[in-house]
Chains A and B, each alone.
Chain A
């Protein structure tokens, strides 16, 4: 579960209002060493929710991201490299993701997060 993915995840129960962002409590994190890809970072950066990313990174122990994203940084190569690393190389192997609205926790095991819900938590699908 990479931080890039986490940026797009939300709680899927019917009682959550937004269910976003999910709070990470990691118990095991693995850092991989994937090749830097500049075009990918630039493209993906446009859709990433920056404050959520900063918060998620700090929940995983990375506190070096700036709280806001000044436009000058978006072309700085060393910044892009660091951003790529944070987005793609930080993997949550196990831990818990918690919904900010309902407090419902989703476990992460072996990198796979479990969003399967009990029937009571689902919306009604009307006939």
Chain B
């Protein structure tokens, strides 16, 4: 293949109009026009790109009637975006786009960066305005290219591909992960001198005027979105001629509309129309007049929206309002004593109190117990992660959809169902639909309904629920009366009250406790403080709730638990989605390393682990020798210098939610009967609609845990040393370190 000696750079970036222009004239009569939008995050950049462009009138500046070409440039620091419109500012099409931008911005689209700073945008008289002061000698043959073409590694982005209906998307087949990493890491401005091979190809590729690169997570495909079909053909020719050669198998192909949809793997709602979910009811056009309520919530003057509600791992990106009770996304429970800033807990408006209370009244006619409502605003492209609603809410859950249509996805294990909801539809969830199936909305710009692509529009959803009030939360306890047991065997109270309990309630336990991944913050702190690549034993790991946190720090986690049913819910097997996402991020956690074993008899080698955690396990041991044995085993498996974090329920509690009258107690856990199908419910008692199961607990008093640690004594030349201890939110905790016993320590 012939070496190309001189590399013709393709279509150099549109040369900034260095010719002097009158910067004061509000409307220039020459094209192109530049709009600089500051503080625009990368995701919003796409929103602009995908704005539905207004129907075009003949253009006064260039006579053409289409406004297809919208070039977008990112500044290298990703802090702002420059949009180039190939028309003059006074041209009607240009103005229409600017008006559209303004409209989207004021309607709440273009939300700006996630730090909440407001969006700023302005016209630029010329590209030079956005450039740093130009050096006096600008005799370089290549005009300085101050804006790096965007190399955005949006792993999410294949979702957006379907919105690019034009066929100016090209797939680079055979691009290896290595080449892709090289591409995304390099900075073209640092390339200089004679370039050969990969670097040369990269430089060419990087100077193409393309919009975006889309790369799915598996790094097996790369898509380039180019401004028009001619550019596509040019790239294709370069690859075919060998000018652009990223590896030996690089070949290109155009991506057709059909392929875009398939690549995205967007599923049609038709595909699941036969799936029946018991308890799911959809009433079409339940609300006839949707515009009053919708306009109330979407008007710029509506001040009811909560600002920046916190959740685990960041903030909730969609806007929400809560009425009645506020839902806290961090603890996943209702905040029972929450008050808004003006000191008033706003109840659910009814009877014409607000423009939208007619919706509430209609629903309350049928369901008078409804006392909570969450209003969600979804901009095109926003969704909500899969979840089952918290147990703080009863049933039914009622959701009313206003505005744009959307596809809601239900999942249970391998099963899926898609439900298409339109303006005014009502969806009610109870029974299996409410407790067993999780629901969520995909974050993307379009949906596929009956083989048609439906674009997402702004949508407001009202979710009405019944919040379980405080009085019902106080649970009655039955103190456990200890019997004299033969200490050799596992006491019956533990067999029934711990092992059988967890095996029976495993699924509901997993759904409501672990699915959302709410971890004990002190334990996470402990794990983050470990040396990376430590071997960490999770004694009593349950459904592996802490394993993702262990893996995240680069450590290798091994878990043990007595409940086989809980272990089955670790990682991919049956565990729904929050855990799934955590696991998908770490390569080792596809199948977590867990074994079924009693904490008193760990199947681990002596001194094999660097750290251990024992969370919510010690309070399930009914006699002191057993508790000592558990900590002895942990001491045995740790190497000298290894550390452990132990935590158990305290007798001393705060707040009204839970009270222990005695150290030996049975604590009830209520389960929906349907979760227990096939598992037998002999242990449980009927409590209205819920079956109650008792679990045995021995709750600790102040100083008791440390005494147990002391009682461990010396094991294999090692003993415990207490590094820290305390009480936190109803639990006693100790941090202990395994130290070598020196000769003088022996008594």
In the complex, are the beta carbons of A34 and B605 less than 8 A apart?
no
Partner of A125, one of B488, B560, B594, B595: B488
Whether, in the assembled complex, A78 has its beta carbon less than 8 Å from a beta carbon of chain B, the answer is no
Whether, in the assembled complex, A86 has its beta carbon less than 8 Å from a beta carbon of chain B, the answer is no
**A115 CA to B594 CA in the complex, in Å?**
11
Interface 9-mer from A8-16, A60-68, A69-77? A8-16
- The chain B residue with its CB closest to the CB of A30 is B591
Whether, in the assembled complex, A101 has its beta carbon less than 8 Å from a beta carbon of chain B, the answer is no
The smallest C-beta distance from A109 to any residue of chain B, in angstroms, reads 9
In the complex, are the beta carbons of B601 and A5 less than 8 A apart?
no
In the complex, are the beta carbons of A124 and B558 less than 8 A apart?
no
Whether, in the assembled complex, B167 has its beta carbon less than 8 Å from a beta carbon of chain A, the answer is no
In the complex, are the beta carbons of A12 and B601 less than 8 A apart?
yes
**A88 CA to B558 CA in the complex, in Å?**
13
**What is the 8 Å Cβ interface bit string for chain B, positions 572-584, against chain A (1 contact, 0 not)?**
0100000000000
In the complex, are the beta carbons of B488 and A111 less than 8 A apart?
no
Whether, in the assembled complex, B556 has its beta carbon less than 8 Å from a beta carbon of chain A, the answer is yes
Partner of B596, one of A13, A34, A112: A112
Report A-chain residues with C-beta under 8 Å of the C-beta of B604.
8-10
In the complex, are the beta carbons of A43 and B567 less than 8 A apart?
no
In the complex, are the beta carbons of A119 and B603 less than 8 A apart?
no
**A115 CA to B595 CA in the complex, in Å?**
7
Report B-chain residues with C-beta under 8 Å of the C-beta of A44.
533, 535, 556
Report A-chain residues with C-beta under 8 Å of the C-beta of B593.
1-2, 5
Report B-chain residues with C-beta under 8 Å of the C-beta of A123.
601
**What is the 8 Å Cβ interface bit string for chain A, positions 78-117, against chain B (1 contact, 0 not)?**
0000000000100100000000000000100011111111
Asked whether A114 and B608 contact (CB < 8 A) given A34-B587, A91-B591, A125-B629, the answer is: no
Instruction: State which residues 547-561 of B face A: CB under 8 Å.
Output: 554, 556, 558, 560
Report B-chain residues with C-beta under 8 Å of the C-beta of A8.
535, 558, 604-605, 608-609
The smallest C-beta distance from A97 to any residue of chain B, in angstroms, reads 9
Instruction: State which residues 701-739 of B face A: CB under 8 Å.
Output: none
**A2 CA to B533 CA in the complex, in Å?**
15
- The chain B residue with its CB closest to the CB of A10 is B605
| Other A-B pairs beyond A4-B556, A10-B603, 5, CB < 8 Å | A9-B595, A110-B573, A113-B595, A115-B601, A116-B596
Asked whether A117 and B590 contact (CB < 8 A) given A20-B605, A43-B533, the answer is: no
In the complex, are the beta carbons of B588 and A88 less than 8 A apart?
yes
Report A-chain residues with C-beta under 8 Å of the C-beta of B626.
125
**A1 CA to B587 CA in the complex, in Å?**
14
Q: Which 3 A-B pairs have the closest CB atoms?
A: A115-B597, A34-B587, A43-B533
**What is the 8 Å Cβ interface bit string for chain B, positions 607-634, against chain A (1 contact, 0 not)?**
0110000000000000101100100000
Whether, in the assembled complex, B267 has its beta carbon less than 8 Å from a beta carbon of chain A, the answer is no
The smallest C-beta distance from A78 to any residue of chain B, in angstroms, reads 17
Number of interface residues of A (CB under 8 A): 38
Report A-chain residues with C-beta under 8 Å of the C-beta of B554.
37, 40
Instruction: State which residues 164-195 of B face A: CB under 8 Å.
Output: none
In the complex, are the beta carbons of B532 and A39 less than 8 A apart?
yes
**A74 CA to B593 CA in the complex, in Å?**
26
Whether, in the assembled complex, B276 has its beta carbon less than 8 Å from a beta carbon of chain A, the answer is no
- The chain B residue with its CB closest to the CB of A122 is B601
**What is the 8 Å Cβ interface bit string for chain B, positions 14-38, against chain A (1 contact, 0 not)?**
0000000000000000000000000
Query: Which one of A114, A116, A117 has the highest number of Cβ atoms from chain B below 10 Å of its Cβ?
Result: A116
- Which chain A residues have a beta carbon within 8 Å of chain B's beta carbons? 1-2, 4-5, 8-13, 20, 32, 34-35, 37, 39-40, 43-44, 47, 88, 91, 106, 110-117, 119, 122-127
**A34 CA to B609 CA in the complex, in Å?**
22
**A125 CA to B639 CA in the complex, in Å?**
24
In the complex, are the beta carbons of B591 and A115 less than 8 A apart?
no
**A122 CA to B604 CA in the complex, in Å?**
15
The smallest C-beta distance from A104 to any residue of chain B, in angstroms, reads 11
Partner of A127, one of B594, B609, B623: B623
Partner of B487, one of A20, A32, A34, A124: A124
**What is the 8 Å Cβ interface bit string for chain B, positions 505-538, against chain A (1 contact, 0 not)?**
0000000000000000000000000001101000
In the complex, are the beta carbons of A47 and B535 less than 8 A apart?
yes
Report A-chain residues with C-beta under 8 Å of the C-beta of B639.
47
**A90 CA to B130 CA in the complex, in Å?**
55
- The chain B residue with its CB closest to the CB of A125 is B625
Report A-chain residues with C-beta under 8 Å of the C-beta of B390.
none
Report B-chain residues with C-beta under 8 Å of the C-beta of A113.
595-596, 603
Whether, in the assembled complex, B359 has its beta carbon less than 8 Å from a beta carbon of chain A, the answer is no
Whether, in the assembled complex, B489 has its beta carbon less than 8 Å from a beta carbon of chain A, the answer is yes
In the complex, are the beta carbons of B588 and A119 less than 8 A apart?
no
Partner of B564, one of A9, A37, A114, A126: A114
**A117 CA to B626 CA in the complex, in Å?**
16
Whether, in the assembled complex, B740 has its beta carbon less than 8 Å from a beta carbon of chain A, the answer is no
**A110 CA to B282 CA in the complex, in Å?**
39
Partner of B490, one of A34, A91, A119: A119
Report A-chain residues with C-beta under 8 Å of the C-beta of B487.
124-127
Asked whether A111 and B591 contact (CB < 8 A) given A125-B625, A125-B626, A127-B625, the answer is: yes
Whether, in the assembled complex, B225 has its beta carbon less than 8 Å from a beta carbon of chain A, the answer is no
Whether, in the assembled complex, B602 has its beta carbon less than 8 Å from a beta carbon of chain A, the answer is yes
Whether, in the assembled complex, B205 has its beta carbon less than 8 Å from a beta carbon of chain A, the answer is no
The smallest C-beta distance from B71 to any residue of chain A, in angstroms, reads 37
In the complex, are the beta carbons of B488 and A32 less than 8 A apart?
no
The smallest C-beta distance from B155 to any residue of chain A, in angstroms, reads 16
**What is the 8 Å Cβ interface bit string for chain B, positions 317-332, against chain A (1 contact, 0 not)?**
0000000000000000
Whether, in the assembled complex, B598 has its beta carbon less than 8 Å from a beta carbon of chain A, the answer is yes
**A123 CA to B633 CA in the complex, in Å?**
12
Report A-chain residues with C-beta under 8 Å of the C-beta of B603.
9-12, 106, 113, 115
In the complex, are the beta carbons of A116 and B623 less than 8 A apart?
no
**A126 CA to B564 CA in the complex, in Å?**
27
In the complex, are the beta carbons of B567 and A112 less than 8 A apart?
yes
The smallest C-beta distance from B408 to any residue of chain A, in angstroms, reads 32
- The chain B residue with its CB closest to the CB of A124 is B488
Report A-chain residues with C-beta under 8 Å of the C-beta of B432.
none
Show 6 residue pairs from A and B whose CB-CB distance is below 8 angstroms, ordered by the A residue: A5-B593, A12-B602, A44-B533, A114-B595, A115-B595, A117-B601
**A52 CA to B588 CA in the complex, in Å?**
22
The smallest C-beta distance from A47 to any residue of chain B, in angstroms, reads 7
Report A-chain residues with C-beta under 8 Å of the C-beta of B573.
110
